[in-house]
Amino acid sequence: MKRGRHWNHPLLKAVGVLAAVMIWAGTESFAGEQARKPVPEAKILKVSGEARADGKTVKAGDTLRAGDRVETDRSDNSFVDIQFENDRVVRLKNGGMVLADLSDRFVLRLDRGKIFAHAGTLAARQSFKIQTPSAVAGVRGTKFMMEAAPDKTYLCVCEGKVWAKKKGLAGMMGGEIVLGAGEDAHIKPKEKLPPPVESPMMVKMTWDEFADMGFAKD
């Protein structure tokens, strides 16, 4: 009982009130900083055919945010070019994807079709990942194409390097592969990770797509 009465001392009460005020002030300051921090956005540069975001038709100049699902018509000629922060540009072709995270931990979730990605130059704290139903790939300053099909994920690298692995437990147990410029790989859920192979024809076709996006080969 004597111990409990010590907390009624005026000095202790004052210290407690001061601590509570400091905690509240710190919380309010953090909340204010978060509120002032700009929300990452993306901008649609070009549309061929029809493209939609969360079911609504979009056009060049429209903006997108994290969480939006973007898709194009199921046609080989349908695509949408999207510009993100840090000079990142992605073409979604005949497919659908979710803009999962547009922060420094950039993530796109591709469930069908192809992505042609110009990742730009990434700082040490930044990452750039694309997930499909069967694989995940990460890059650092590169140009590559990734395709999601029902039975596999296809990767083709034009510039830089891309690491890839299977998703989930299979990815944790199966390690990863690293593809360099000029290489491709077919990743299948029920098969071992294949070694990257040189693929001049597919690389040329991918470079042609990048040239149409405005990124000609040096």
Coil, strand, or helix at residue 91?
A: strand
Query: DSSP 3-state assignment of 176?
Result: coil
Asked whether the beta carbons of 105 and 137 are under 8 A apart, the reply is no
Please compute, for residue 23, the number of CA atoms within 13 A of its CA located in the half-sphere on the CB side. Answer: 6
Q: What is the pLDDT of residues 97-109, one digit of tens each?
A: 999 999 999 999 9
Burial of 192 (0-12, 13-18, 19+ CB in 10 A): exposed
CA distance 178 to 190: 19
The helix (run of H) or strand (run of E) holding residue 23 is helix 10-36
Distance set, CA 215 to CA 87, 101, 204 (Å): 12, 24, 13
Task: State the average pLDDT for the chain.
Answer: 85
Name the band, by pLDDT with cuts 50, 70 and 90, for residue 26: low
* Contact indicator for 135, 151 with CB cutoff of 8 Å: no
Q: What beta strand segments (E) does 160-203 contain?
A: 162-166, 177-179, 183-187, 197-198
What's the rounded mean pLDDT across residues 64-75? 95
Provide the pLDDT for residue 10: 59
What's at 192, amino acid-wise? K
Three-class DSSP category at 119: coil
Burial grade of 110 (CB within 10 A; 0-12, 13-18, 19 or more): buried
Query: pLDDT band at residue 33, thresholds of 50, 70 and 90?
Result: very low
